[in-house]
Amino acid sequence: MKLFDSTIASEVAAKLLEIQAIRLQPEKPFTWASGWKSPIYCDNRLSLSFPDVRNFIKDNLAKAIRLHFPEVEAIAGVATAGIPQGALLADVLDIPFIYVRSKAKGHGMENMIEGKVTPGQKVVVVEDLISTGGSSLKAVADLKAAGFEVLGMVAIFTYGFELAEKNFEEAGVSLVCLSDYAAMLPQAVADGYIDNGTLTSLEKWRQNPSIWKQD
């Protein structure tokens, strides 16, 4: 996993914190579907409601793609949160857009991939958030099964779990993110969302999220 730019990472984190797309509640943690207790909740779909944030993210994702995946011929969004981000990107880059469902449509053409399927086309996958990477890499596998050449993936934010890094490495998929948990923490302290005492607890969660506050 690569960060596009360290300065951009801090700026993206600041904007996501400001619009409450990232919420930090170490004393009243969120519970994920996996059962993990988490001091953070990240909903980057909120960025779509703020034009300045939306445009900042869109422009920098486009720059990341031009730098790391210059051969891109199409953008593929991952349902559902990657769809609007991907469509915005495809418009900026003036290339085709498709999206990948989590499961095949249950009626009609029963499509897994929506849009024109062009075998051999070079695509970059767009996600809003990376946790373990499971659903994201499933989308990559579905695209490859349909005949696409997947150049890599871009995302707005990642928690930076070791499991995710391992999953992407094993799948041979290059991932470029605008920001991550490590860049967000000092920004949250600088902007007054948390103090240094709270920072310790947040860092412990990152080290071993599966057992954090489970006793």
Q: Establish whether 129 is an annotated binding residue.
A: yes
- pLDDT tens sequence across 77-126: 999 999 999 999 999 999 999 999 987 755 545 689 999 999 999 999 99
Amino acid at 168: F
Q: Establish whether 162 is an annotated binding residue.
A: no
Q: Establish whether 89 is an annotated binding residue.
A: no
pLDDT tens, N- to C-terminus, the chain (215 residues):
899 999 999 999 999 999 999 999 988 999 887 788 999 999 999 999 999 999 999 999 999 999 999 999 999 999 999 999 999 999 999 999 999 998 775 554 568 999 999 999 999 999 999 999 999 999 999 999 999 999 999 999 999 999 999 999 999 999 999 999 999 999 999 999 999 888 988 988 988 888 887 65
Amino acid at 100: V
Long-range contacts of 181-184 (CB under 8 A, 24+ apart): 181/40, 181/206, 182/206, 183/3, 183/6, 183/9, 183/10, 183/12, 183/13, 184/13, 184/16, 184/17, 184/22, 184/157
Q: What confidence score (pLDDT) does residue 204 get?
A: 87
SS3 45: helix
Asked: is 2-203 a CATH 3.40.50.2020 domain? The reply is yes
State the pTM of this model: 0.94
Q: Read off φ and ψ for residue 67, nearest 5 degrees.
A: -75, -50
Q: Establish whether 43 is an annotated binding residue.
A: no
Q: Establish whether 28 is an annotated binding residue.
A: no
Q: What confidence score (pLDDT) does residue 106 get?
A: 52
Q: Establish whether 165 is an annotated binding residue.
A: no
Q: Establish whether 101 is an annotated binding residue.
A: yes
* Domain spans, the chain: 2-203
